[in-house]
Amino acid sequence: MKEDLYNLAQEHLVRYGGDVFPTLFTSAKGTIVKDSQGREYLDFTSGQMCATIGHNHPAIVDAVHRAGEKAFHFFSGMIPEVVAELAQTLARDWLPGDLKRSIFINTGSEASEVALRMAKMYTGGFEILALGGSWHGITGGASAVSMASDRKGYGVPVSGIYVIPEPNAYRPYIDKATEEEAALANLDLALKMFDMQSTGRGAAIIVEPVVSAGGVLVPPKAFMQALRKAADDRGMLLIFDEAQTAFGRIGTRTGAEYFGVVPDIMTMSKTLGGGLPVAAVSTTAKIEDDIHSKKFAFYTSHVSDPLAAEVGLAVLNVIQRESLVARANVMGTYLRGRLEELQQRYEAIGDIRGLGLLLGVELVTDRTSRTPAHQLGALTTQKCFERGLSMNIRRRPERGSVWRIAPPLTVSTEEIDRAVDILDRSLRDSLDELAASKAA
């Protein structure tokens, strides 16, 4: 029967890209997901970076029930009480500066569309600066500013997009004495090129506080501050895409808090829903008043849905009640330490980076050449999965294979130890297997 379902999936589902597993999945709880053969996996991807409070947290289950007793959905113009509560909670407890007005939608891609539409309407411009290696979503506008997405085969992209090379301390485009100097030199050159090409109709700079899909790159603080200035100097807005970084993952309330930079618009998604489709975009009253006067619109079937808001509120409450922001730092330090032990034993682990519980481990053939070890990354990831550890590897030709290691913030030290043990054995076996096949 279960075999049949797997075959049916092959026959009737559109293949939508990304890593696909050789089995179907049935349930999830905390850090563990289960497949239809009853096998358990430690989920060190947090379900595509969403389940920061652990899969199927009882508070989320309760929130879904609560919403079910009241309403899942209304006409778009009927604002549910719980949406007002969530908007207040975000403004009061989580967002920096004057980010006081929010809109609630469902996915990160949608949130990027909202943010870009806001910036274009407010400034009257259309040009957008985005970072190399960025990922802001798969829909039209969002994919146009996503340089880690595959752009081939989908026709003419949105025009007016310019790229700032991403700061990458391990593989700098421009090498300087310090990481900060290199990042600033990069930016300086990119802005010169942009100013040369610009029609003078700049709208926004959009950036992830940690360039995650692009290889878990943490820009220097001075780089983010320089982006703030670059936007101001050009009358553009600064958009932070905090799909992954908001609400504790990196050990601060938001990426904005970590960098000490307040954006004009912030997008939030994955970590707000804890596994359910909830997204938000927040901006200042000044910007919102202005675009409202120009008839800003983003009414979708599911804007301001009560179910999404009930879940979002529950997730934020759990993060506060269980002190998960602080926990991300404690567990992140522990996990990083365990990975650094492996690094001492494996030449192939070239770099370990990241913040809190958003860590990147870059694989190389050797530390001198830093040649990307793609085969090793793919094989080890597969062996980890076979042994019960689900890991996400980011592979780009221009950079190494990078594991993005991001378990739920509720992960235990025992789970981390089990995961590191699986990683250790899988890496050893993969290196042996690749060496043997080379020798043969």
What are the structure tokens assigned to 240, written together?
Answer: 């932070």
Q: Which is nearer to ligand PLP, 105 or 411 (CB)?
A: 105
Q: How far is the CB of 210 from ligand PLP (least distance, A)?
A: 9
> 330 CB contacts (<8 Å, ≥6 apart)?
none
CB closer to ligand PLP out of 273 and 350: 273
DSSP 8-state assignment for residue 440: -
* Closer residue to ligand PLP, CB minimum distance, 255 or 350: 255
Q: Which of 336, 206, 337 is nearest to 266 (CA)?
A: 206
Name the DSSP letter for residue 14.
P
Closest CB to ligand PLP among 89 and 244? Answer: 244
CB of 229 to ligand PLP, least distance (A): 23
- Closest contact distance (angstroms) between CB of 139 and ligand PLP is 7
**Which positions lie near ligand PLP, rule CB under 6 A?**
107-109, 112, 135-137, 208, 212-213, 241, 243-244, 269
Least Cα distance to 258 among 242, 236, 282 occurs for: 242
For residue 30, the 8-state DSSP code is B
Tell me the C-alpha distance between 107 and 92, whole Å. 23
Q: Can you give the C-alpha Rg of the chain in angstroms?
A: 22
Between β-strands 202-207 and 237-241, what pairing exists: parallel, antiparallel or unpaired? Answer: parallel
Dihedral angle, C-alpha 116, 119, 123, 124, nearest 10 ° = 30
- Minimum distance from CB of 137 to ligand PLP (Å)? 4
The CB-of-204 to ligand PLP minimum distance in angstroms stands at: 15
The residues that are catalytic are 135, 208, 241, 244, 270, 404
Q: Which is nearer to ligand PLP, 146 or 365 (CB)?
A: 146
The distance of closest approach from Cβ of residue 8 to ligand PLP in the complex, given in angstroms and rounded to an integer, is: 25
Q: What is the largest CA-CA distance in the chain?
A: 71
Q: Which two tokens stand for residue 302?
A: 């599911």
Could you tell me which of 274, 275, 293 has the C-alpha nearest to residue 285? 293
In terms of residues, how long is the chain?
440
For residue 272, the one-letter residue type is: L
| Residue closest to ligand PLP, measured at CB | 108
CB nearer ligand PLP, residue 106 or residue 123: 106
Residue written as tokens 């609560």?
Answer: 66
Least separation, in Å, of the C-beta of 117 and ligand PLP? Answer: 15
* Those residues with Cβ within 8 angstroms of residue 361's Cβ, 6 or more apart along the chain or in another chain: 339, 349, 351, 352, 402, 403, 405
Residue 429 has, within 13 A of its CA and on its CB side, a CA count of: 15
**Of 241 and 362, which CB lies nearer to ligand PLP in the complex structure?**
241
Closest CA to 97 of 257, 240, 235: 257
Complete DSSP assignment for 140-179: HHHHHT-TTS--TTS-PPPS-EEEEPPP-SSS-SS--SSH
